[in-house]
Amino acid sequence: MPLEIRKAYDNNTRSYDGRPGPDYWQNTVDYTIEVAVDPAEKKISGSEKVVYYNNSPDVLSTLVVRLYYDAFKKGNARDYGIRPSDITDGVTLSKLSIDGKEVELGSRQGASRSGTNLVVNLPEPLKPGGKLSMEVSWAQFLPETTIRTGVYDSTTFFVAYWYPQVSVYDDVFGWDRLDYGFRAEFYNNLGNYDVTINAPEEFTVLATGVLENAKEVLSKESFSRYQAAHASAETVAIVSPDDLKNGYRNQKGNWHYVAQGVSDFAFCLSDHYCWDAAPLEVDGRQVFINTFYPESQAEECSGVTALQQKIMKHFSEDVPGIPYPYPEFTTFIAKGGGGMEYPMMANNGNPGRGVTMHEMFHTYFPMYVRVNEKRFAWMDEGWADYITDVVTARYFKNEEGPYFSGSKSGMQGTIGTISDLPLITSTQFMDNSNYGYASYPLPSFVYSMLHFELGDELFLKCFREYIRRWAQKSPTPYDFFYTFENVSGQDLSWLWKPWFFEYGYADVALKSFEGAVLEVENKGSRPVPVKVEYTYKDGTTFVDYARPSAWESSNVYRFTVPKAEEVASIALNQEVPDAFELDNFYPPLKERYAGLSLPECLTGIYALKEFPVDLSISKQNGMLYLKVDANNMASYLIPQDEKNFQSLDGALKASFEYDDTGCKGITIDYFGYHITGQKN
């Protein structure tokens, strides 16, 4: 255990049974913000009054303030490239005062600015139990490089990471001084927000929280629909395509939103977006669900509000089975890219079910359970990936578990390599070669193993208790480990140690198949479940499983094979990550290529249209092998015919396109994304 975390347990702010300790504390903050958006200049300017509460036992002599848009400041380090036109002077501060005393921004005695942090030297130390007030005035340009925030078209904006924000001071690391460089995401204080957003009257503004002045800002007809939407089980168009075609304008442009007990605030605005809404009853109260989308995409986005209702109902009642905790949720939809979560909001690149569900789940992690994503991204992204898989399979596809298939192809290019760091490694020490792997598919798979090992009832009991214990608090990885062990009554170190604390890889192999006995060997150092799929000569199939704990006593596991004499083929762990997959099949996988005539033109590099990356197709061990170096996604391809293939886990479908000169391109369908590539 790192010394910083051990100190928290020694200080009784955390307990070895996984609960917050008797002396747990966290600092909180109240924001009152007024911000003006200038769409023509693509600029925002604002002023805020902040009250910061020191609930810690420590005397604070400094206050760390985050200036996120300094990530665009010339000379600052960034994890991703941006448009040259977005490189600016960062956040322009015109005023900053503490308890009414102006801070000399140009003097290091007053404040020092480095990276994306402003460290303010307090005129008087802030004692335990005390509070201070800060007033700030600032301005900044909105970027056209849309990494979670920015200009989505000439008159559409999603505004996030946008206000001077007091950093977190906690019981583990003290002040969070990690810079924002675009890759890592949240770790924020619990706070209350009272925000007024000023925009031209033709712009509609949706935001975190509850709209307090709908009657004053909306047109009379739209306000009538807004009221009707609160009382209707069906989706109501508050701003419709016809409204926009007829030059829709609001009555006023000062939108007042209030949000209580949240970790951040974001907003979006456009003059050509439709607004649909409907309520959902959750735990005896009403949640208002909104969808904000381009008029040009009205047909494909019209069902998103109803989709959100269904997803939220399953989250609240089934998995995780914790009622959605906030009064509203809004999905903003733009073209291209993935998604990004904020309290009560999501910024999604398409109206698909997968991204809609994933981003809404983030309400639980890192919003409700305020995990430190900047250091332990797997504590929220992994859950969002896995619970999306479970809810999709169970309630949208009527498939029984266990659910492993969402993870494999995203892991195969990294598993067992030098980039495959133990999961406990702080996210700050990862880079673009392994951040995605360690944040999304790897922890998602580990959670799937935990679910399979414990069984549905016990797993959900542990998961729900973990959420309840740490609601609106900030757990470390050890609080997660200890909670699951405490609630399950099991020692799970055999799983935690190899997957979170050691280097290694998973590798099972088909050792022998004789008579009615199938022997499977674990050649790797990390335990995994075993999924055996038998295909019989008449085309029927049978599936059998072994839990990951099966390897505790031996590295060989024996299955009794039903109707062994009728078996035509056997496949091990097609949906489970495996460092060496080719010894998982009987007969050998490459025999499926027998009789196929595949032209050499299939191999090579394909430039993807929808994403700025390349995909490679090569021949390895007599089979086609797909890899995307940018995210280390990799898989052998199983032929369906001479043109169509799929990944071993079945999650990816690939189809090659030909013309008179040979292979000209590839089409990929992968988790709701339709991707096209042109042969270089």
Which pLDDT band, with edges at 50, 70 and 90, does 430 fall under?
Answer: very high
Give 129-144 pLDDT, tens digit per residue.
Answer: 999 999 999 999 999 9
From the centroid of its chain, how far is CA 329? 16
Which pLDDT band, with edges at 50, 70 and 90, does 117 fall under?
Answer: very high
Residues 6+ apart with CB under 8 A from 632: 410, 412, 413, 414, 419, 433, 434, 436, 437
Per-residue pLDDT, 486: 99
DSSP result, 107-144: -TTTEEEETTEEEEEEEEEE-TT-EEEEEEEEEEEPPS
Per-residue pLDDT, 405: 65
Instruction: Supply the Cα-derived Rg of the chain in whole angstroms.
Output: 27
Per-residue pLDDT, 642: 85
> Bridge-partner residues for 92, per DSSP?
139
Which domains does the chain show, CATH number per domain? Answer: 32-171 (2.60.40), 185-192+202-249+258-372 (3.30.2010.30), 376-502 (1.10.390.10), 508-587 (2.60.40), 600-679 (2.40.128.50)
Per-residue pLDDT, 650: 84
Which pLDDT band, with edges at 50, 70 and 90, does 508 fall under?
Answer: very high
Per-residue pLDDT, 290: 99
The answer to whether residues 333 and 301 touch, using CB atoms and an 8 Å cutoff, is yes
Q: Which of 1, 21, 22 is nearest to 475 (CA)?
A: 21
Please report, rounded to a whole number, the percentage of residues in the chain having pLDDT higher than 90.
Answer: 89
Residue 640, pLDDT above cutoff 70: yes
> What distance in Å separates the CA atoms of residue 281 and residue 327, rounded to the nearest whole number?
10
Q: Which two tokens stand for residue 349?
A: 């690149």
Please state, as a whole number, how many other Cβ atoms lie within 10 Å of the Cβ of residue 521.
17
Residue 359, pLDDT above cutoff 70: yes
Considering only 28-42, 477-491, 607-621, which range has the smallest mean pLDDT?
Answer: 607-621
Per-residue pLDDT, 534: 97
Please report, rounded to a whole number, the percentage of residues in the chain having pLDDT higher than 70.
Answer: 100
Mean pLDDT over the full length of the chain = 95
End-to-end alpha carbon distance in the chain: 49
> What distance in Å separates the CA atoms of residue 646 and residue 654, rounded to the nearest whole number?
6
> What distance in Å separates the CA atoms of residue 389 and residue 66, rounded to the nearest whole number?
34
Give 305-329 pLDDT, tens digit per residue.
Answer: 999 999 999 999 999 999 999 999 9
Q: Which of 520, 511, 513, 365 is nearest to 443 (CA)?
A: 365
Residue 160, pLDDT above cutoff 80: yes
Residue 76, pLDDT above cutoff 70: yes
Q: What is the mean pLDDT of residues 155-161?
A: 97
> What distance in Å separates the CA atoms of residue 288 and residue 298, rounded to the nearest whole number?
20
Q: Which of 439, 440, 459, 457 is nearest to 449 (CA)?
A: 459
Give 237-295 pLDDT, tens digit per residue.
Answer: 999 999 999 999 999 999 999 999 999 999 999 999 999 999 999 999 999 999 999 99
